[in-house]
Amino acid sequence: MRKPLDPEMFDPACPSNVTPIRIGDKWTALVVLCLEDGPRRFSELLVPLRHVTPKVLTETLRALERDGMITRTAYPEIPPRVEYELTPLGRSLLDLVDACRTWGDRHLSQLLDARDAYEERVDSGR
């Protein structure tokens, strides 16, 4: 018999609840990669991240700034210029992102096979 799950395993006081690494977050790792080589403007980020909406990119950047992963620098110019840059804490995510990319490279075919098998089961009503 399996041990029951602890109802307090996701207690709000648990450190895992404040961890900025959200496995399901589609854009955080991609933004971190875009900032790897230095500061970028919002419009520069939108080029490789062309499938993200400006609203979602703004939310992602704000969350990263809130968590101390990036800095936002607004320059008092006309027109206004804002740049985003990784902090040392944000740079520490690069190793983690690289590990995830390595895992993906190693297991992509298995992942795609599993998705295909799932779709076949769903399509056939099983």
Question: How confident is the model at residue 106, as a pLDDT?
Answer: 92
- Which of 6 and 98 is assigned the larger pLDDT? 98
What digits encode the pLDDT tens for the residues 93-120? 999 888 888 988 899 899 899 999 999 9
**The total number of structural domains that make up the chain:** 1
What digits encode the pLDDT tens for the residues 55-85? 999 999 999 999 899 999 999 999 889 999 9
Question: How confident is the model at residue 70, as a pLDDT?
Answer: 96
What is the model's pTM?
0.77
For residue 119, is it within any domain?
no
Domain extent for 81: 15-91
86-116 burial, b for 16+ CB within 10 Å, e for fewer? bbeebeebeeebeeeeeeeeeeeeeeeeeee
For residue 5, is it within any domain?
no
For residue 120, is it within any domain?
no
